[in-house]
Structures are given as C-alpha cells and as structure tokens.
Structure 1
C-alpha cells in the first residue's frame, strides 16, 4: 500500500507541481527548440498527457505487469534495459563502498576491540577525533577532492567515467569513508558493554585468546547495527546522486534525478520501484541476519542488556570545536555577505579577507558566518523532529517497519521534488524534504535495541514480579534505548546539515544570493582549482560542525535516577519474606554469582 501511494505520488508529480509536463519534456529533449503551441500540443498527444493522470498511471501499471515499463518520454528508448543497466552500475559501486565502509568501521573501533579483549577498556568514550572529522565530511566534497587531487593533479586513478574496476575506486572511497566512520562509532558505542557481559568475563578468566573474544563481541553487537547497515546499503545505491554526477557514473541515482527533473515519469517510476524492491530485500536480509546471530535468545529472553551508564565524555575536544566555530561566526557577522567588489574576484586569504573572496568579490568569511544562522538552525530543528519521530515510531516496530522500508528507498533529491510539488517552493522546502527521510535510521535503531532489550534476563524477572507495560517502558526500556539513540541522532546531525547542503549543491535548496553553506559549495565548485579556498572554507565549517556534534555525542546520556533509600518495615514473625522490588530483581539478575569460600 505504501509503495502504491509512492508510485501514485510520482505519477502525479507534474500535475502536483502545477507545471506543464509537455514543456518540461520539450526542454529536456531540446533546450533550444521554441515551445510553440503546436509543438506542445503534439507532445501532449504523443504522450497521452491530455488523458486523466490516473488513467495514464493505470496504463503504465498494466504494462509493467506484462514486463513492459514503457518508453522514455525524453529519449524514446525502452525503460527496463536502461534502469537495469543503471541499477547494475549502482550495485557495483555500492559493493565497493560497503567494503570501504566495513574496513573504515573496523579501523574506527580497532582500539576498543584491542583494549576490551584484554580487559583494559576502562571508561573511555567511543571513537576519536579522526573518526569524528571523517564522519562529518560531505560525500560530494570528498568526491571533489579525490577527483581533482588524486585523479587530475596526481593522475594515479581515473577521475571520470565508468569503464572498469579502476574507475570504481575513487567514488567507492568517497561514499564509504564517511559511512564507515558513522558505523564504526555506532559499533564503538556498544562494544564496551559487550566486553562486560558474563560470557566475556568467563572467557577472559579461562584464558580464551583475545582475538576470539573480540570476534564474539562483534557478533554480539552486530544485531543492533544490521538494520542500519541495510539502510546504508539502500542509501548508497539511490542516494549517491552527487557522487555519481561528479564522477560521471551512469548509476540509478543520477538516472532518477534526471528523470525527476525532466518529469520523465516512466523512468522515474521504474527506478523508484527498483529502489523500493532493493530496500525490501535489504531489510529482509537484515532481519534474517539478526535472527541467525542471536539464535533462540530473543525467543527465550536469555540476553544480557547492552545498556550501561555512559561515562562522562571528555569535554575539552568538543569545547575546542565549539569555540572555533563560534569564533568564525563572530568574526564574520560584522561583515557584509552581499557586498560585491569585482576588482577583488577570487582573492587569496589575507588580513582584509581571512577566507578569501568568491567569483563576485564577496567576502567568504562573511557569507559563511551569515549562512551559519540558517544552516545550523535548520539542521537542529530537523534533527530534533527526526529524533522525536524516530523514537515514537521505533517503539511501534510493526507500524514503522514497512514505512521505513518505503521511505528509505526515496532519495532525498526525489523527496525534495515531491515536497516541492506538493507544498511549493520556499525556504523550508529542503528542510521538509530532509525531515521526510531523516527519521528512518533512528526508528530502525530504536526498534533493534528495543527488540534486544525486551529479551533480557532482568526484564523477564521484572515482568514476572508483576511490573506492568508502562512501568517497564518508563523505568527499563526507555533508559536503555534512549541514550544510544540520542547519540545516534547527534551523529546524524552533520548528515542532516550535509543533506541540506547537498540539495543546495544540486540546485534544489536555497537560491542565490543566499549564503547557505550548500549553495556556497555549489557556487564556488567551478573555481576549485583556481581558488580552492572558496570551497574549502565552507567545507571546513561543515566539517567543524560535524566534528562538534560527533564528539559531543559520546557524552549524551540520561540523568541518573537516585536510588531510593531502603525502608525498614516491621513484619510479624510468622510472615514470609517481603517480595523484592523490580529494581532489586534487576540488580540480582545482573550481579555476578557469589563464590563458595569453602
């Protein structure tokens, strides 16, 4: 039903956007051709646009059932072969990006694995500064740097095209490095608890090799990350529009974007259905993997909780990042972001212009500072809305599961076009587009943690003592689920800011002369070789914001509840022992067994 609603919304996109699809198709076919009424009328008759849009959609669905997705409105070629070829290129790129992401995630949490397997973990927080910066890097910026430096200047690898395995390395690195850093920090958040479970303590006491303990710890934490890995896979396939555009890769993301901009409905609908099918397959494989890894423990309630009180994170590093970002904004606010001076075009950084000037002679520092207000405010608002929506829907996995699979298959670019068509263009259109898809990873993470927490021993004991559902939710489930999900939301904050920036980079967000950071990157991208500071300065500001959010995420935790003081009650001598409270049962289950001193 959700897929049908999505396909119907795409089929009605030209009519929802209140534009003439014949004019859009004519411009896509030939931008220089004059749109006279006779030509537009001929296109409407050719494509059947004069018919009812629902009837037109029904004809396409009927042909799809026969294995015919129709012909492209722009190129007049068969749709299915083009979509299959683009999907193959995207899947190959996704496979390479997943390999890079897994290796990056392993390098991110390698120190935790080494320390934990040797019982030297202590109270360190997850991740490091390097992974924080890497997780905050914009994919299109990484792609631009790799293409211009490694591909063009050094000539080590090809920078454009799609002709063999060597052409896959740079785009796979651009997609896999930030994704792997995020996955690595999420895994690093769970590993310390796994190393304190009874099986790990017993293995260390019996002299099991540390490598075996580390492998079992990874297996213990993997079920909580597999659903999010499935989301990353689908996102890498359909959401890598900017990377495919920069490297000139004929992938499904770029094909879908072009079809959406040209309102080529047969190609757009078929590509979206392919992404939805891929999302459903990835979710199914993730659920199967979770069941294989956890075995009957989910059914029997034999798991231990991975929730632990989060140690206070070091506050020096995020404080430094925050001071740097605040200093940049404070220095740039007194300057004029729109002041033009054509005699100072593309000037290098100096005392007069610390970050240099752009192609119109405008001060880059001033534009970054004034754009920070809208970029940071919008990113924080969207992150808060995504966190609230993700937690609420994640607590209802039967409702959110199919919805997540469908929403995750929609690239943010296509979501922006749909939102623009329904709500119209405006300053909040990019925020709505990103918010439509930003909640799904948080809902998936909430559902995965909730599923494991419900199968823990202490929750089974608390339920057996008579605790009701609301008590379990408030005192046991939410304290265990919310801290890692909040930290995950903070990890996603740079991604949301980068999503807004990517829409601006692709021309679907803020419009000139707005100083929004994504638009700054898009405007200065053609001058990256002549004036790299015009691109590196806003990219550094985005990276600084991401590093601040990621390093601060390590200390996100709920306030600790003060334990109630035990009350002494006088009972008759013949009465039995008092029933223990739920909190007592929790600690009794989690406490190690006493040793026999005899």
Structure 2
C-alpha cells in the first residue's frame, strides 16, 4: 500500500512539474509572449509598444508567470481551464472536443495496428514458432515516415482514385486513411516485438504437451499470444498516447482537428491556457492507458507472477542464416559511395525535377540538385547521429527499466509530451545549439525501451529457473548479472534497432522548428520534407530518400535478428552450494 501511494505521488509530482514547465515556457525561452500572441492574432499588425502593452494588460502578463500559473491551476477544480489567448474561446470545450477526435482516430489506428501485427506474426503462429522469422517487410513498414504514408494515401487513394475522403473530419469514413498512416508503422513495430517472443512461448512445456495431446494448433497459437501479450502491453499503452498526441503531421495533412494539432498550434503561438490544458489531457490519458495495460497484464498472467513458476520466454535460438544483412549493407554502402564524389549543393535550375537518368540516377530536386549526391552526403550525419542516440537511449532505457517504480511514471509522463513540445522545452532549458535536436530526441526515445525492459524483467523474475537459482543461495547481483540481464538485453537491443529509422526521422522533423538541420543541408528527413510538395509531379524526389530510409530499417531489423542470448555457463563457485544467511540484502534482482 505504501509503495502504491508513493508511486501515485511521484506520478502526480511529475505531471505537476510538466504542466508548470509548459506554463513557464515563454519565460524560460526568453521570448515575449505578447509579441508571439500578436503575430498569431494578426501577422500584419505592427508590434508597437502601445499594442504590446495592451495585450499584456489584457492577458495579465504584467502580473508575472507564477501568478498566471496559479490562477490557471485554481480554475481546474471548477473545470475552468481559462480562455484562449488567441481566439478568446473557453479552453475546456476546445480541448475536450479535440481529445474526442483524437481518441476516435486512435481507436481506428489501433485496430489497423492490431491487424498489421497479426499479419507480421502470421507465419510464426501458423508454424508454431518453427517458421523462418525476420522478414524485412515489417521493417520497411516500421521505417516508413507517417507523414509520407499519409501524403501518398491522401494523394493516390483520396484524390486520384477517389475511393475514400482525404480531407476534413465529417464522419467515421474520414478516419480510415489517417488511421492507416498511423496504424501501419505502429503495427509493424508491435508485430516484430510479438514475433520475437512467440517462439519462446511455443517452446514452453504446456505448448509441447498440448501439441502431443492433439489439441488444434489454432488453440495453442491463441494461448501463445496470450502468454506473450503481458510483455507488450506497456508498449501498447505508450503507443496509445503517442498516436493521440504525436499524430501532428497526419492531422495536418488530412485537416483533422485533433489534440496533437491543437497542442502544436498552441505551442507555436504560445497560447498557454490551451497548451497547458492539452498537456494535462495527454498526461491523464497516459496514466489511464498505463493503468489499463497493467490491469490487462494482471488479468492475463498475474497469478503466475506471484507463484514464481513461469517458464522463461527467452531461450537461445540460432540466429537466422543467410546473406540478407550483408546484401542490404552492401547496397547502402554502394549508394553512399556512388554519391559522395558528387556535389550535393550544385544548382542547375534548367534541370529541375528531372527524372532518373544515367547522369542523375536518383533524379533531381526542385532546384536541380542531384538527389544521389544529397542522399549520400546526408547519410553520414544522419546515420552516425541516429546510431549514437540509439545507443544512449538503449543504455538509459535498460538502466531505468531496472527501477520500474521510478521509471514507470517518468516514462508515461515523458511519452505524453508531443515531440514538438519536447523540442521546445529542451530548447528553452538548454538553449539552441548543435546538440539541441539530439538532446530533444534522446530525452523521450528511452521511454518505450524502459517499459519493455521492465515488463520483460517482471516476467523473468517469476521464471522457474530464477526461483530455483535463488533457493540455492544466489545473490541479487548474481541473478541480475548472470540470469536477468542476459535474458532481457537481446530483445530490448532488437527493439532499439527497430526504432533506429524512427530516431533518424524524429531528428529531421525538428528542422521545421529551426532546431535541427536547415537548408541546404542534405539530411535525409529534410530531403523528404523539402520534396514532399512535389510528390505527385516528381515522385522520385520523395521515393529516393524514403527508399534509403526503408533500406536502413530493413538492415537494422535483419541485423537485430543475430542478437541472441549468450550460452549459459556454470562455473564452480558462481552459485553458493549452501543457502545465503538471512542477513543477505534483497536487491532489485531478487524480486
């Protein structure tokens, strides 16, 4: 009971800190909120001292940020989140309406994600875990940027073919295309994580006994999915919040008045009442999603966790054979080597948006620059920085995952912050600089890895071999070093590699805020953003960087297939032959 109360207080404190930071954002960033509000209200009006003083008096800015924050917090118990600084409308109905739109879109996107995950795992489920896994199709889906998928669906399916509505929000049929853009990448990631655990479930004694008794494989497959779901439910909860608040690009492309878009517009305009209310709604949603995920995991496998007699899901299996990773790496290196001798900044306006040819194998962009040269020169910065951030987030996620009471509420709170808002907060605290985008991405990218680590450790601590090893007198440090970490590190590492292309894309998306790469930099994500308006007229301008990014995702996942647990080695003296005295301290690894 005491630990539950402490966790709730820790979660409430983090939520309060986040809302306070958001409320102090203009002052932390050393900007004038009156000037930003004036530009948002009327860009043509001159910012004279008299006009700015009138706005400060109207909004109460002269009373200071702490007074404004206290006044806003005081209205929350009455359901009053203030009035918008831009439109003057009540904030509570606006945010609740945007939240309802986002929740409907999230529900449909989760259905698409569940179907996608089922297709990714279909071969493993059909063959009882003995089929060849590691197909790169799911890696390509996971690596595709959401805004690119949304643009293609809106242009081709919505406009050219006219099968589904592409713009607006006037009914359930308008959710299908944006839900596909959001659900396909999320489902590919969840499917890969589930596919990684299913062979261990099929190898457990109950599954082998059921197969020997002639129980239909379909029933065994259903139970295998049930067995592995608790390890994925924390990440599914993070996806709910991430889709709700992080679908900014998709909501803008399809003109959807969701919470992510509302929060982004409020952040850029420094409309603090709307921004604070939107952030609070996302934090509360994160808490609800996390609570639902933990309750579902408890219902699925809770009693077995208390008994300490679970079989381990993490068995050593031979890595997938084949030359696929080498072939993908060779193709990527060939593209980089072919483009490095070319000039990525050379302009030739007479050859704008030229189709691929012998002289320009990837075509040219809107300024006549060679796309092969730009892709190759952008590869070094993009790949090296993304790899460095992935390594840092992996270490951070594993370290915090060992402390679930600390990292659980922290991960939920961090995940509730949309990427744009996170970038603004990091910039306000750390200032603009070369490493600001990397700090912004690293500050949030560890959350799913920490949730994955905590979920896997929770099940592994209840495994039968852990109970047996502990009964022989193994110390907590021995259990952590020789049993828990060797079982958990490989799947979490594969998870981190699966997210490598997403890290590269998130870095690029910050360029729109002036925090990341700026033109004429050939960074991959910036290439996608620059050429997206010409996707219908010159699709090669978008397909070239997108294909290389998908190639990176396929390479990351196929390489991750070789990350396997080490062989168990029993050395004399590792495990004491007699029980440990009662005074032995019980650490995190023994529970």
| TM-score clears 0.5 | yes
Q: Aligned runs of 1:115-154 on 2, under 5 Å?
A: 115-116=127-128, 121-122=129-130, 126-154=133-161
Name 1:482's counterpart in structure 2.
Answer: 489
Deviation digits for residues 135-177 of structure 1 (CA, Å, limit 9, x no counterpart): 1111111111111111111111111111112211100000001
Q: 2-side partners of 1:183 and 1:126: how far apart?
A: 15
Structure 1 residue 288, shift from structure 2 partner: 0.5
1:96 aligns with 2:108: yes
Name 2:583's counterpart in structure 1.
Answer: none
Q: 1:60 aligns with which of 72, 75, 93?
A: 72
Deviation digits for residues 362-420 of structure 1 (CA, Å, limit 9, x no counterpart): 11111111111111111111101110000000001111111111111011111011111
1:40 aligns with 2:52: yes
Deviation digits for residues 172-231 of structure 1 (CA, Å, limit 9, x no counterpart): 000001110111111111000101111011111111111111111011001100111000
1:523 aligns with 2:535: no
1:216 aligns with 2:223: yes
Name 1:397's counterpart in structure 2.
Answer: 404
- Determine if contact 1:101/1:179 at 8 Å carries over to the other structure: yes
- Determine if contact 1:133/1:544 at 8 Å carries over to the other structure: yes
SS at match of 1:295: helix
Q: 1-side partners of 2:212 and 2:367: how far apart?
A: 68
- Determine if contact 1:242/1:506 at 8 Å carries over to the other structure: no
Structure 1 residue 314, shift from structure 2 partner: 2.9
Q: 2:303 aligns with which of 296, 302, 308?
A: 296
- Determine if contact 1:104/1:177 at 8 Å carries over to the other structure: yes
Q: 2-side partners of 1:167 and 1:217: how far apart?
A: 35
Q: How many residues align?
A: 567
1:323 aligns with 2:330: yes
- Determine if contact 1:505/1:518 at 8 Å carries over to the other structure: no
Query: TM-score with structure 1 length normalisation?
Result: 0.92
Name 1:17's counterpart in structure 2.
Answer: 29
Deviates more, 1:382-391 or 1:547-556: 547-556
SS at match of 1:207: coil
Name 2:92's counterpart in structure 1.
Answer: 80
Q: 2-side partners of 1:226 and 1:462: how far apart?
A: 28
Structure 1 residue 505, shift from structure 2 partner: 5.8
**Which of 1 and 2 has greater Rg?**
1
Deviation digits for residues 520-554 of structure 1 (CA, Å, limit 9, x no counterpart): 11111121122111111111111111111112111
1:336 aligns with 2:348: no
> Which ranges in structure 2 are unaligned for 5 or more consecutive residues?
1-12, 581-591
Q: 1-side partners of 2:467 and 2:473: how far apart?
A: 10
Deviation digits for residues 312-343 of structure 1 (CA, Å, limit 9, x no counterpart): 12341222211111111111111111111221
- Determine if contact 2:283/2:416 at 8 Å carries over to the other structure: yes
Query: TM-score with structure 2 length normalisation?
Result: 0.93
Q: Aligned runs of 1:341-380 on 2, under 5 Å?
A: 341-380=348-387
Q: 1-side partners of 2:92 and 2:321: how far apart?
A: 54
Name 1:30's counterpart in structure 2.
Answer: 42
- Determine if contact 2:316/2:566 at 8 Å carries over to the other structure: no
Deviates more, 1:311-320 or 1:205-214: 311-320
1:557 aligns with 2:557: no
Q: 2:291 aligns with which of 284, 291, 305?
A: 284
Q: 2-side partners of 1:350 and 1:50: how far apart?
A: 62
Moved beyond 6 Å, runs of 4+:
none
Q: 1:50 aligns with which of 55, 59, 62?
A: 62
- Determine if contact 1:230/1:286 at 8 Å carries over to the other structure: yes
Q: 2-side partners of 1:242 and 1:426: how far apart?
A: 24
Deviation digits for residues 343-365 of structure 1 (CA, Å, limit 9, x no counterpart): 12111111111111111111111
Name 1:106's counterpart in structure 2.
Answer: 118
Q: 2-side partners of 1:506 and 1:358: how far apart?
A: 22
Q: Residue 433 and residue 317 in structure 1: after superposition, are their counterparts in 2 closer, same or farther (change >3 A)?
A: same
Q: 1-side partners of 2:318 and 2:213: how far apart?
A: 28
Name 1:439's counterpart in structure 2.
Answer: 446
- Determine if contact 2:508/2:517 at 8 Å carries over to the other structure: no
